[in-house]
Amino acid sequence: MTNSELERKLLESLAKRFPTSSAATTEIINLQSILNLPKGTEHFLTDIHGEYEQFNHVLKNGSGTVRRKIDEEFGNTLTVKDKKSLATLIYYPEEKLTLIREQTAEADMDDWYRITLYRLVAITKRVASKYTRSKVRKALPKDFAYVIEELITEKVEVQDKEGYYNAIISTIIWLGRAPQFITALSNLIQRLVIDHLHIVGDIFDRGPGPHIIMDTLTEYHSVDIQWGNHDIIWMNAAAGHFASIATVIRMSARYGNLGTLEEGYGINLIPLVTFAMQTYHDSDCSCFRIRYDDDYNTHDLDMDTMVHKAVFVIQMKLENQIVKNRPEFQMQDRALLDHIDFKKETVMIHGKEYPLKDCDFPTIDPEAPDVLTSEEQEVMERLEFSFKKSEKLQKHVRFLYSKGSMYKTYNGNLLYHGCVPMDERGKFLAMEIDGREYAGRALYDVLENFARKAYYVNNNPEERRKGQDYAWYIWAGPKSPVFGKDKMATFERYLVEDKETHQEKKNSYYELRDNEVIVDQILKEFGLDSNGHSHIINGHVPVEQKKGESPIRCNGKLFIIDGGFSKAYQSKTGIAGYTLVSNSHGIRLVQHEPFTSAEDAIRNETDIVSDSEIVESRSRRVLVSDTDTGKELREQIAELDRLLLAYQEGVLGS
C-alpha cells in the first residue's frame, strides 16, 4: 500500500467520526481550547504496603487539597469547626450523614441540608474550574448529572440567579433526595481534586488490606502503576509459581495477615495449615514469631507460627532449586540449604561457618535438602490451584498488568520503584540473558517482557516457566532494578544470630544518586531532557527523616517518596508517608502524620495532619499543551486539519 493510499484510509476512518467539515472544525476548536487549560493535578504515592485505611483517606482528602480548597473558598467566613465538619462530610459522606441525622432534630435537617448543599456547590465550582465543561460532564454521577451541571455552571441568561439556584436546591430537599445529592457532590469533589494518580510500587505485603487498595484502584478514574518487587511476587504467585506462592504466604504469615489470603482473596489454606500442625506440632518454632498488631486474633498464634515455619522451609527449598537450575542468575551462593551441616547445626556462608538458631527441620533430607516431600508437593499443588482460581486475585493481577509497568515516563518525569543498577563508577550494570547483555533501560524492558510472559504465555510451558523464574528474579535478584541489593537475606535473618550476615548491600545507585551527572545520565537513558524540568520519582527505600534524610535529592531532580506509609517502617522514618503533588503551578511535597482510623475521622472529625512544602514553582502556569496529553492532542489536530483540507478540496465528500 502506497503512502497516499494509507493516508486516504486514515482519513476515511477519521471521517466516520467527523462526517462533515463542520464536525471536524468543531472538534479542532474543542481540542485547541483544551490545550490552553491548566494541566491536571497529578498525585504520586509509593510503598503503600497494605495500609488501606490511610491510603483511602489520603485519596479522599486529596493529600490535604480538599482542606485547602475549603480554606480558599470560605476564608474566615466559616469557623474551624465548620470547616472540619465540611471536610469530613466530603471524605465520608454516607457515614457522616448517618451521624448527623442521629444528632440533629428532624425539624432542623432541612436547614442543614440547604446550608450544606450551598457549601458543597461552592467547593465543586472551585475544583471544577480548571477543567472543560466536557470533562466535568464525564465525571458527573449519572443520577444527578443535569442538576449538578445547572448548579455549577454560570447562567448568564438568568436574571434572578439566586432565586434560580434556590429553587433547584429547595426542590432537591422537598423530594427527599438531599442525602443522595450530598453524597454525589462529595464524591465528585474527591474525583476532581486528583486528575491522575501514580502508584510507584509496592501495594502488597506487611499491611492487612492490599486487596481493599486494589479494589479502590480498579475503580479509580485515572491511574498508572510502576511495579514494586512486592507487587511482582504476588503477580507471579497468581500465575502459579511455587516459590512465589510460598513467599507470599510467608510474608502474610510473618505480619499476621493470613486473613488477607483467606478472607480477602478466598485462598484455601486448610491443606497448608493441616500439614503444618501435623509436621511442626512438636517443633521449636521460636524463630518464626508473628509480628502482629492490635487487630490480630492471638487465638491463632500457635497455628500461624507453625504455618510460618512450614512455608519458610518450603520457600527455601524452592528457591534453592531455582538458583541451581538457573545458573545465569549467578545466585548459586544463595543455595544455602546445600551448605547446612545438620550434625553440627551450622551453615557455611561465604566461607565462614555460623551456628543456626534452629535446625529442627523434619522435612529436610540432608542428602537432598531442596527436594519437597510428597506432602509438601501436594500442599503446593493445591495452593497453586487456589491461587490460580481466585477470581479477585486474578482480576487484580490483570489490572496490574494492564495499568502497570516496570517504569514509566509521564509529563517529563521518570517513574520507577527502585533503581537503575550501576557499578561504583556509575556505569549501568549489564545482565547477560540468552547470550546478550542488557543494561539501563534495556534491562528494564527485557525483565518486564519476562514478567508478562510469566502470566500470559499459556501455549509454551517451558517459556512460561522461564518467565516465572525471571519474575522471581525481579523480586530478589542482585541485578533486579526493583530490588537493588546484592541479596535478600531471608534465610540469615530467620536462622543466623550474627547480624553481619543480615546485611543486604545496596546497589551503587544509592551512593551515586546525589551526583547530578549520574541523574542526568539516567534521564537521558530513558529519553528525557536533563536540562528541562524532568525529575526521577521513586520509592522502595524509606527516607529516614528522623535522622535528617531528605526525600529531595540532587538539586530537586530526584524525589524519593517512600516516607513510611507502612506502619512497619514508621518508627524508622518518623512520619507516615509522602505524597508528591504536581499541578500547573509547580510541585509540592506533602508529608503525612500517622492516621488513626476512618471511624475516628468520621466520629471525631480528625484528619491526617500533613505538612506541605513547595519544592518547585513555575513562572508560567503549565498548560495541557505542555504535557504528554498536549502532544497527543496536537497530533489529533494535525489529523483533523488534513481531514478538513480533504473536505475543502473535494478529496472526500462532506
Which pLDDT does position 610 carry in this prediction? 78
Grade residue 573 by pLDDT with cuts at 50, 70 and 90: confident
CA atoms of 520 and 324, how far apart (whole Å): 38
Spatial contact of 223 and 197, defined as CB atoms under 8 Å apart? yes
Angstrom distance (rounded) from CA 565 to CA 593: 9
CA pair distance 475, 484, nearest whole angstrom: 10
Tell me the three cell numbers of residue 455.
502470566
Q: Which of these, 67, 48, 59, lies nearest to 609 by C-alpha position?
A: 67
Q: Is the pLDDT of residue 282 over 60?
A: yes
Sheet hosting strand 42-45, strand order edge to edge: 404-405, 223-226, 196-199, 42-45, 578-583, 586-592, 610-617
d(CA 592, CA 163): 43
In the prediction, which pLDDT does 150 show? 84
- Name the more confident of 339 and 296: 339
Query: What distances in angstroms separate CA 651 from CA 11, 643, 648, one per listed residue?
Result: 10, 9, 8
Enumerate residues 6+ apart whose C-beta is below 8 A from 36. Answer: 623, 624, 625
Q: Which residues contact 12 (CB under 8 A, 6 or more apart)?
A: 652
pLDDT on residue 6 = 83
pLDDT of residue 299: 84
Summarize the confidence of residues 292-303 as an average pLDDT. 82
Question: What per-residue confidence (pLDDT) applies to 616?
Answer: 87
Name the H helices within 219-369: 229-238, 242-254, 258-259, 270-279, 301-325
Mean local confidence (pLDDT), 15-42: 91
- For residue range 107-158, what is the model confidence (pLDDT) as tens digits? 889 999 999 999 999 999 999 988 888 888 888 888 888 888 888 887 656 5
- Give the mean pLDDT of the chain: 92
Radius of gyration of the chain (CA): 28
3-class secondary-structure state, position 313: helix
Is 181:23 a contact under the CB 8 Å cutoff?
no
Lowest mean pLDDT segment, chosen from 144-158, 307-321, 352-366, 634-648? 144-158
pLDDT higher than 90, residue 546 = no
CB of 605 closer than 8 Å to CB of 86: no
Using an 8 Å Cβ cutoff, are 561 and 415 in contact?
no
**Average pLDDT of 437-451?**
97
pTM of the model: 0.93
pLDDT digits (tens, 9 = 90+) for 188-210: 999 999 999 999 999 999 889 99
- Confidence tier at 506 by pLDDT (50, 70, 90): very high
Q: What is the pLDDT of residues 350-364, one digit of tens each?
A: 999 999 999 999 999
For the CA atoms of 601, 176, 70, 99, the dihedral, rounded to the nearest 10 degrees, stands at -20
pLDDT score at 653: 66
The residue-averaged pLDDT of 337-349 equals 95
Predicted confidence at residue 400, as pLDDT, reads: 98
CA distances (Å), origin 434, targets 183, 326, 337, 402, 494: 56, 12, 28, 27, 34
Average the pLDDT over 491-511 and give the result: 95
Which among 250, 184, 244, 196 has a CA at the least distance from the CA of 223? 196
Per-residue confidence (pLDDT) for residue 217, from 0 to 100: 97
- Distances in Å between the Cα of 481 and the Cα atoms of 226, 422, 430, 490, 526 are 12, 10, 11, 19, 14
| Residue 162 CB coordination number (10 Å) | 8
Please report the pLDDT score of residue 531 as a whole number.
Answer: 78
More confident residue, 417 or 548: 417
Q: What is the pLDDT of residues 211-254, one digit of tens each?
A: 999 999 999 999 999 999 999 999 999 999 999 999 999 999 99
Exposed, middle or buried: residue 460 (CB in 10 Å: 0-12, 13-18, 19+)?
exposed
Say yes or no to pLDDT of 648 above 90. no
Long-range contacts of 140-143 (CB under 8 A, 24+ apart): 140/188, 141/184, 141/187, 141/188, 143/180, 143/184
What pLDDT does 310 receive? 97
Nearest alpha-carbon partner for 466 in 433, 492, 441 = 433
Cα(330)–Cα(477) distance, rounded to whole angstroms? 9
Higher model confidence: residue 350 or residue 652? 350
* Buried b / exposed e along 606-639 (16+ C-beta atoms within 10 A): bbbebeeeebeeeeeebebbbbebbeebeeebeb
Q: Pick the more confident residue, 417 or 137.
A: 417
The set of cell numbers assigned to 201 is 510500587
pLDDT of residue 339: 96
User: Could you give the angle at the alpha carbon of 565 between the alpha carbons of 202 and 497, nearest 5°?
Assistant: 75
Mean pLDDT of 177-182: 93
Phi and psi dihedrals of 591, rounded to 5? -110, 125
In the prediction, which pLDDT does 384 show? 98
| Residues 6 or more apart in contact with residue 643 via CB below 8 angstroms | 11, 14, 15, 18, 24, 652
Return the pLDDT at 200. Answer: 96
Highest mean pLDDT among 95-104, 260-269, 572-581: 260-269
